[in-house]
Chain A
C-alpha cells in the first residue's frame, strides 16, 4: 500500500512532457468556423500567409483577456495597414459565453472558435491566454503566455520588427 501511494504521489508531482508548438517551428495549419459576423464563415491561417499574424487563444472566463483585448484591438488598428493581423481563437465550452464576452468587449479583428479542445491540444497550450506571433513566412517567432498590463508595449515592438523583415 505504501509503495503504491508513493508511485501515486510521484505521478502527481511529475512534470508532464508536453510537445507544444515552440518558437522557430512552422505554424501548424488552422481552419475554424468564424464567430464574427463580418467575416467569411470559415477562416484559416493559410489565408493570412504573407502577413504578420498574432494568433490568440482566449476564453470568456480568462481574466487577463479583458486586458489583452482592448490592447490588441488598438495594435491591430495601428499596424493593419502595414500587414499585421490578429486571429483570435475562442476555446469556450459554450458559444454563448464567447458571444457575451464579445458584446461587452467588441473587437474588429476576426474571431474563430473551437469548443472541442482539439486545436488548443494540438498547439500544446499551457495556460490561458496564449498568443503566438507568426511571421510573414508562417514561422512561429514568439509564444506569449498570460497577459500583463504592460505586455502591449513589448508586443508592439516585436510586431514592428517582424513587419520590417
Chain B
C-alpha cells in the first residue's frame, strides 16, 4: 500500500504498492522463456527530509523513513513455461502530515502527526508465463498485507509478435480488491471498515526502428471504486469513483562509439478528479568494459491539482482534501545506478534524490506546505544459475 500520511496507526503507510503489471519479456525476446534460473535481492532505504520549519506548526518535524527488502526469483519450467516469485517487506516509521491550518500570518502550515509510528508490510507476487513461438501469456496474483490493509489482485497479460518479428502487440487486464480497516483509538477516522476495487486495462505496441533502436506506445485505463478517501486525515472527503487514463511512449537507442544506450520515456496522465500530469524519464546506460554499467538518470514530473484540493479545506463542499499529493507541483529527481558483474553474480547500487516545488510544474495551483523531498538508496545482489 502506498505511503500515506497517517497517525499512530501506520496502515496504508507502506512505500511499495502491489507490483505494476509488466510482461516479463517484451520486444526481441517475447517468444522464449529464460534459459537459466535467476534470483535477486535488494535492500533499500528511503528517507524523507524533515519538514520546513517555516511551513510546520511546532517547527520542523522529522518525516518518514522506510527500510525495504525485495526478493526476486525467475525460473524456467519445462520447455515453455516460466515462474516468477517476488516478495517485498517494508518496515516504516516516522511522522506524516495530519492536516493543514492557517497560521497567524495567513500562510498555510502543516500539522504533523505526533509520535513516531512503526508498521510492517509484506507482499507476495507470483506469475506464471507460457511461451509459444510467436509470443507469451502470463497470469499474476499478488497478495499484500499490513496491520490495517489487505489487498488481493490478479492480472492477465499477453504479447504477440508480428510474423516478421518487427512488432510486438501486448495487452493486460487486472483487478484488485482492497480491504481497509483503520486502526481506531488515537485519531478520529473517516471510516471503521471499508473497501475498494480497482480495474485496469492496458494495450501497447513495441516496434523495432533499426538495428539500434526500438520504440513503444501504450494506453491504459484504470477505474477505482469504493472508499478512496484517506481515513486518517482530518479533512478529507474524496469521490467514491475515479477514472484514469494514461498514454505513454518510450524509446531506446544504442550508440556504438560511446558504447551506451539512451532511454527516454514519457507519460501523460489524466483523470476525472481534475488531475493531469506529465512525466519524462531519461537515462543513459554507459558500459564500462564488459562487466560494469553506470547509469545516470533524471526524471521530471509535473501534476495539476485535484478539483477539490485546497490547503485549508472547505468542509461545506461535497469533496475536499488537503493532501499534498493532490496539489499542483513539479518534481525533479535523479541519481545514479551502478551494476558490476563477477562471474554469475551481479552487484548493484543506486542513489536517488527527489525534490518537489510548486513552481517547477507547468500547472499552477496552491502550494502545499507539506511537499516532500527524499533520498533513496538501494543495494542489490543477483545470481544466475548457469
Asked if A15 contacts B35 (CB within 8 A), the reply is no
Tell me the A47-106 residues at the B interface (CB within 8 Å): 63-64, 66-67
Chain A min CB distance to B167 (Å): 7
Residues of B within 8 A of A (CB): 29, 31-32, 34-36, 76, 78-80, 133, 162-167, 207, 386
Residues on the A chain within 8 Å of B165, using CB: 126-127
Q: Are B35 and A16 in contact (CB under 8 A)?
A: no
Please determine whether A63 and B29 come into contact, CB atoms closer than 8 angstroms.
Answer: yes
Measured between beta carbons, the chain B residues less than 8 angstroms from A149 are: 76, 78-79
Q: Cβ of B76 and Cβ of A12 under 8 Å apart? A: no
Query: B164 — which chain A residues lie within 8 A by C-beta?
Result: 15-16
Using known A-B contacts A15-B164, A149-B76, determine if residue A67 contacts B35 with beta carbons closer than 8 Å: yes
Q: How far is the CB of A55 from chain B (nearest CB, A)?
A: 20
Whether A37 is near chain B, meaning CB under 8 Å from some CB there, is no
Q: Given A126-B165, A146-B31, A146-B133, list of 19 further CB < 8 A pairs? A: A12-B162, A12-B166, A12-B167, A13-B162, A13-B167, A63-B32, A63-B35, A64-B35, A66-B35, A66-B36, A66-B386, A127-B165, A145-B133, A148-B32, A148-B79, A148-B80, A149-B76, A149-B79, A150-B79
Instruction: Name A's interface SS.
Output: loop
What is the distance, in angstroms, from A9's C-beta to the closest C-beta of chain B?
Answer: 11
Q: Which of chain A's residues has its CB closest to B80's CB?
A: A148
Q: Do A15 and B163 have beta carbons less than 8 Å apart?
A: yes
Closest to A151 in B: B79
Q: Please encode chain A, from 122 to 164, with 1 for each CB lying within 8 Å of some chain B CB and 0 for all others.
A: 0000110000000000000000011011110000000000000
Alpha-carbon separation in the docked complex, A151 to B80 (Å): 12
| A13 to B166 CA separation, bound complex (whole angstroms) | 10
Query: How many angstroms from the CA of A12 to the CA of B162 in the assembled complex?
Result: 9
Residues of A within 8 A of B76 (CB): 149
Are A16's CB and B163's CB within 8 A? yes
> Which residues 14-63 of A have a CB within 8 angstroms of B?
15-16, 63
B residues less than 8 Å from A127 (CB atoms): 165
Q: Compute how far the CA of A16 lies from the CA of B162 in the bound complex, rounded to whole angstroms.
A: 10
**What residues on A are CB-neighbors of B31 within 8 Å?**
146
Q: Name 6 interchain pairs, CB-CB below 8 A, sorted by A.
A: A13-B167, A16-B163, A63-B34, A64-B35, A146-B32, A150-B78
- Cα–Cα, bound, A91→B287 (Å): 23
Q: Name A93's closest neighbour in chain B (CB-CB).
A: B211
Which residues of chain B come closer than 8 Å to A67, judged between CB atoms? 35
Residue of A nearest to B290 (CB): A100
Task: Report chain A residues within 8 Å CB of B35.
Answer: 63-64, 66-67
Please, which residue of chain A has its CB at the minimum distance from the CB of B167? A12
Which chain A residue lies CB-closest to B165?
A127
Contact B32 A64 (CB under 8 A): yes
